[in-house]
Amino acid sequence: MLDTTMKYSFALLILCAGIFQYETADCPDELLNSYEIYSLHIDSYIRYRYATTTVTSKVVNSRNNSQEIFFHMNLPETAFITSFVIEINGKEYEAYLKEKQEAKEIYDKAVASGQSAGHVAASSRDSNQFKISVNVEALGKIKFTLKYEELLQRTLGVYKQVINLNPGQTVRDLQVNVYITESSDIKRLFVPEIKVTNEIETDEKENKLVNITRPSGNKAVIHYSPNVNDQKKVGGTCFEGQFIVQYDVDRIHPCGQVLIDEGYFVHFYAPEGLNPLRKLVVFVLDLSGSMFGRKLTQLKQAMTAILDELKEGDYFSIVDFSFSVTVHNLDSPTGSTVISPDSRSHQDEMKLPSSLEVQNAYAATKDYVNKAKQIISKMTAGGGTNIYDALKTATKVSQKAYEKIRNDLKDNKNEEALEPMIIFLTDGEPTVGITNLGSIRSMVRELNIPRTAIYSLGFGYGADMNFLKKLSLENGAFGKKIYEASDAALQLRNFYKLISSPLLSNVTFTYLPSQVDDNSLTKKDFRSLFHGSELIVAGRLLVNDEVQIDVHSLSSNGTASCTVEGTKIPVDKTEVSAVVVPVEDTKVYGSLERLWAYLTVKQLLDKQETLDEDTNHEESSKLKETALNLALKYKFVTPLTSLVVVKPNKTDAITELEKDSSRNEGMLAPSFAARPLGPTYLMAPGSAAYGFPGSYTRSASVIRVHSALLKGLNGPDAPVYHRS
């Protein structure tokens, strides 16, 4: 007879660990023999680009003694967890959402009263790893159900949904089902083979094991159910990889498509047939000592290819920095301008050296591109990292060049728009001149007027992505991490492709005040629209089923404008993808309303991130409060909210949330780890970065970690497990 007196302990964990490497090697025998995931079903419903995904995993403890089993799921970095349920012996234990501090207090109270508790909190916007541990009785079974939501973004002409399959072993009953419903016909639907590496694959092949049915032009059902042998062919006995769905939709109206449902609207805007704008690109490249070796080689490879992709009519400038800053003179390399570090703690107007007042940007002709390639090929790495002077110089170079080019175009009766941008790449933190990150951001923000978009690339482990993302958000752009791998040059090239073809600038959406609640609108003014991307605006209607939208922008042909009216979503009772939230919630929150809420929370958090708490405390507090209230209402796990699971338990088996703020991109640890129940404790570096004390404690059958910041799952900084 089974020992039914054994209790279960819960622990939930979200880690921020970037992108993970998938292993194809066999799993350890002891891991395979300790438990079995006998069923893993993933069902995703995509309705008008908004995806709701449910992961259901069933596990059995194969041993004759109780042990701890971990459920682990990699999530898209833009996803919000909305639900988590554990089922044991037919009884469900559902997590509930609270404000982060309140959740921590509930958790502490439960622990103090001897209950088993779990606490899930998103450590940052990049959190993408969910983990829970449960002590399961001998031969016992358990079911995990996790739900998350995300808005699919259009990049390079397609929407892409990535579903991470990481059971860490083959599964007898493995199914992935994706149901797509769009408002217009679906085109370019493609499901590549399971992706088992993070490196970019240039030649994707179709997944022959996928079955695709098309009930109608605007619907698709995708089914993937590989048997055990199929799974072994992909990843050996330790099956892991990414299931990817790509698609696009037909676009009929040049002003986009506006959908209306239950008092909410969403406007998808991605016009076709436009010529790219001229652009002015200032490349700002880190040549500090840490770039020595492979990173510099990859940067040279990428820049050589990127220079070839500059279009006729474009302009560019090359700036590099280490201890000092160099603005390269393509006509006379020996005449390049070198700028020494500026350590002033106050903001002064910077005057460019006279050599830069005359010529500081060059037309993207074959001759100048070849000269730039020669300069790139001779670059060497060494010295410190002078980020402030590099950005200060780049903004001034961009402003002067923009002014000169616009005047030249006007002299030639050419009113064509010109899009200025800075592409800033660094692999570290500032060590020369002004090094305070907050000061650098505020000073660059003041200098960069009129504003040039600053796209930031953090190359490798040492780059501070939090700083770079905020820097870019404040300057009309976005930041991206470039991972240290053999495909880094390709990562750089692919990033450039995203922004290489601006189609429109200064895009503004306007509405009749009698139709739309202006306070509900998501972002409605956009600096640029790039080829292959899409702008999305959502809001709440004052008059149901009625909205008219005007769009104004600058194109290659001058000022452009258009008008579009909303279309009510048709009711389709046979639509399988209509059920995107639990039945009890569907009556309250329609799919467009949840899309609006998701987009609003994301943008509020982005805006709040860029504010200085000291100088903008009131505004920051208001943004936090609004985002928090929406997150609680729609059950989104965000940096402001946490999930809590509490189950009555008379044992002392307790675990807590663990976090990872590491920049580690290392190997993915086995998704399910099991170890026998016993006197065990976990050691990890403590931190109070998220408001929890950094500590660990030990007692019989107790595992407790108070917001420990783990340095990745593997490697020298990995947590150490001690057994007694």
What band does 115 get if pLDDT is binned at 50, 70 and 90? low
Extract the tokens encoding 432: 């020369």
Q: What average pLDDT score do residues 92-120 get?
A: 75
Stronger pLDDT, 162 or 688, i.e. the higher one: 162
Rounded Cα distance, 405 and 595, in Å: 41
Distance spanning both ends of the chain, measured CA to CA: 29
What band does 642 get if pLDDT is binned at 50, 70 and 90? confident
Pairing of strands 257-261, 264-269: antiparallel
Domains of the chain and any CATH numbers: 257-274+504-634 (no CATH), 278-500 (3.40.50.410)
Average per-residue pLDDT in the chain? 80
pLDDT tens digits for 554-571?
A: 998 888 899 999 999 887
Rounded Cα distance, 10 and 8, in Å: 7
Helical H segments across 610-638, by residue range? 617-634
pLDDT value at 181 more than 80: yes
Extract the tokens encoding 188: 């370019």
pLDDT tens digits for 573-632?
A: 555 444 443 433 433 467 899 999 999 999 999 999 888 777 788 899 999 999 999 999
Query: What percentage of the chain exceeds 90 in pLDDT?
Result: 59
pLDDT value at 652 more than 50: no
pLDDT of residue 238: 84
pLDDT value at 179 more than 90: yes
pLDDT of residue 629: 96
CA distances from 440 to 283, 351, 443 (A): 19, 18, 5
In 3D, which of 60, 6, 93, 55 has the Cα closest to residue 674? Answer: 60
**How many other β-carbons are positioned within 10 Å of the β-carbon of residue 358?**
10
Rounded Cα distance, 357 and 396, in Å: 10
pLDDT tens digits for 448-472?
A: 998 899 999 999 989 999 999 999 9
Point out the least confidently predicted range of 75-89, 112-126, 386-400, 462-476.
112-126
What band does 291 get if pLDDT is binned at 50, 70 and 90? very high
The identity of residue 570, as a single letter, is P
Q: What is the DSSP string of 411-422?
A: HTT----EEEEE
Point out the least confidently predicted range of 238-247, 548-557, 583-592.
583-592
In 3D, which of 124, 171, 153, 220 has the Cα closest to residue 27? Answer: 171
Rounded Cα distance, 142 and 148, in Å: 20
Residues contacting residue 1 through CB under 8 Å, at least 6 positions apart: none
pLDDT value at 651 more than 60: no
In 3D, which of 127, 155, 129, 147 has the Cα closest to residue 49? Answer: 155
Residues contacting residue 29 through CB under 8 Å, at least 6 positions apart: none
pLDDT value at 6 more than 90: no
Point out the least confidently predicted range of 285-289, 303-307, 588-592, 704-708.
704-708
pLDDT value at 313 more than 60: yes
Torsion angle of the four alpha carbons 137, 140, 145, 146, in this order, in degrees rounded to the nearest 10: 40
Extract the tokens encoding 662: 């590491």
Rounded Cα distance, 365 and 662, in Å: 43
| Cβ–Cβ under 8 Å, residues 530 and 419 | no
pLDDT value at 723 more than 60: no
CA distances from 284 to 296, 317, 331, 373, 375 (A): 14, 9, 19, 15, 14
pLDDT value at 96 more than 90: no
Q: What average pLDDT score do residues 306-324 get?
A: 96
In 3D, which of 1, 3, 8 has the Cα closest to residue 144? Answer: 8
Residues contacting residue 369 through CB under 8 Å, at least 6 positions apart: 307, 308, 310
| Cβ–Cβ under 8 Å, residues 129 and 75 | yes
pLDDT value at 116 more than 50: yes
Stronger pLDDT, 181 or 333, i.e. the higher one: 181
Residues contacting residue 260 through CB under 8 Å, at least 6 positions apart: 541, 544, 545, 546, 547, 566, 567, 568, 569, 592
